[in-house]
């Protein structure tokens, strides 16, 4: 169907750029707008994780995003960065059963990504972290 | 994101429009904290009206959680209403809709908040 790629520095100001990239892919692939939300969320969560936790001092990693829509109405989004090795899927899930006072304010992003995507997999490929997310758009 | 605040006699409504993401969350948080820290008495009821809210990420959830805690400290009732389905899904998946009241519309949120008060 259609594939797109972009690369940005892991800088928080680039979030809007990536969001625009996703919107353009969605329009070019003529996909239904409601299906974009989980990908927008996953892109923000994974990118911001790299921005905030994926840098060595003095060096800003490069983040590459690949979007791929296939004929079976599923979209694959791959996010790669050349920062230090880190598997976000190794994070323990947050305890979402506790009340307002005890509820930790962080740790939700990756949990939400796993809930919303059909498949999420991590690989260290050479000197890069690669996170691949797949979701079917068929309802 | 646009943020409007309507201070009415029965409740203060917080109306975010657009995306409550990493970029928008700090401004949202500051505006909401100002409601509780302003001179005089904190509003009895604060309701976030999600009619125009199109998107929320974990950063947005965090800002809402901190708002709910600020309300609790100030002794104000706090609720969300009129969430769009995609936003509602994020609140449900995160478990937030179990710890923060979510209502269909302003009237339902207001009725529940007023009932809960002594």
* Closest Cα in chain A to B58: A109
Q: Spell out the per-residue pLDDT of chain B, length 118, in tens.
A: 999 999 999 999 999 999 999 999 999 999 999 999 887 788 999 999 999 999 999 999 999 999 999 999 999 999 999 999 999 999 999 999 999 999 999 999 999 988 865 4
The CATH number that applies at residue B106 is: 3.30.750.24
Residue A57 has pLDDT above 90, yes or no: no
pTM of the model: 0.93
Q: Which of A13, A51, A91, A103 to mutate to test the interface with B (most CBs of B within 10 A)?
A: A103
B98: left (phi over 0), alpha (psi -120 to 50) or beta: alpha
Question: Which pLDDT belongs to residue B45?
Answer: 96
Q: What are phi and psi of B69, to 5 degrees?
A: -70, -40
Residue A49 has pLDDT above 70, yes or no: yes
Share of chain A above pLDDT 70, in %: 96
Question: Which pLDDT belongs to residue A99?
Answer: 82
Domain that includes residue B83, residue range: 2-115
Question: Which pLDDT belongs to residue B118?
Answer: 44
Has the ipTM of the complex gone over 0.95? no
Q: What are phi and psi of B58, to 5 degrees?
A: -60, -30
B57 touches chain A (CB under 8 A): yes
User: Which pLDDT band holds residue A97 (cuts at 50, 70, 90)?
Assistant: confident
Q: Which of B25, B57, B59, B87 to mutate to test the interface with A (most CBs of A within 10 A)?
A: B57
| CA of B54 vs chain A CAs: smallest distance (Å) | 9
Quote the number of domains for chain B. Answer: 1
Q: A20: Cβ–Cβ under 8 A, 6 or more apart, which residues?
A: none
CB pair distance less than 8 Å for A111 and B22: no
Domains and CATH numbers, chain A: 2-136 (3.30.565.10)
CB pair distance less than 8 Å for B100 and A34: no
- CB of B59 closer than 8 Å to CB of B21: yes
| CA of A12 vs chain B CAs: smallest distance (Å) | 8
Residue A64 has pLDDT above 70, yes or no: yes
Q: Which of B18, B58, B90, B101 to mutate to test the interface with A (most CBs of A within 10 A)?
A: B58
């Amino acid at each position: 169907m259609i594939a797109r790629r972009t690369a940005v520095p892991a800088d928080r100001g680039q979030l809007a750029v990536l969001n625009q990239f996703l919107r353009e892919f969605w329009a070019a692939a003529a996909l239904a707008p409601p299906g974009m939300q989980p990908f927008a969320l996953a892109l923000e969560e994974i990118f911001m994780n790299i921005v905030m936790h994926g840098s060595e001092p003095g060096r800003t990693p490069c983040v590459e995003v690949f979007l791929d829509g296939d004929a079976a109405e599923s979209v694959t989004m791959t996010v790669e960065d050349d920062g230090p090795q880190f598997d976000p899927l190794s994070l323990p899930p947050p305890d979402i059963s506790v009340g307002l006072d005890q509820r930790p304010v962080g740790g939700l992003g990756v949990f939400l990504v796993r809930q919303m995507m059909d498949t999420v997999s991590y690989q260290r490929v050479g000197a890069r972290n690669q996170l691949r997310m797949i979701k079917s758009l068929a309802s | 994101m646009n943020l409007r605040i309507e201070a009415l006699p029965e409740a203060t409504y917080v109306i975010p429009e657009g995306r409550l993401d990493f970029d928008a969350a700090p401004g949202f948080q500051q505006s909401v904290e100002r409601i509780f820290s302003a001179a005089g008495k904190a509003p009895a009821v604060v309701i976030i009206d999600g009619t125009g809210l199109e998107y929320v990420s974990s950063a947005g959830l965090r800002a809402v959680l901190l708002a709910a805690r600020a309300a609790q400290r100030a002794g104000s009732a706090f609720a969300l209403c009129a969430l769009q389905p995609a936003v509602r899904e994020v609140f449900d998946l995160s478990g937030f809709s179990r710890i923060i009241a979510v209502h269909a519309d302003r009237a339902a949120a207001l009725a529940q908040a007023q009932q809960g008060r002594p």
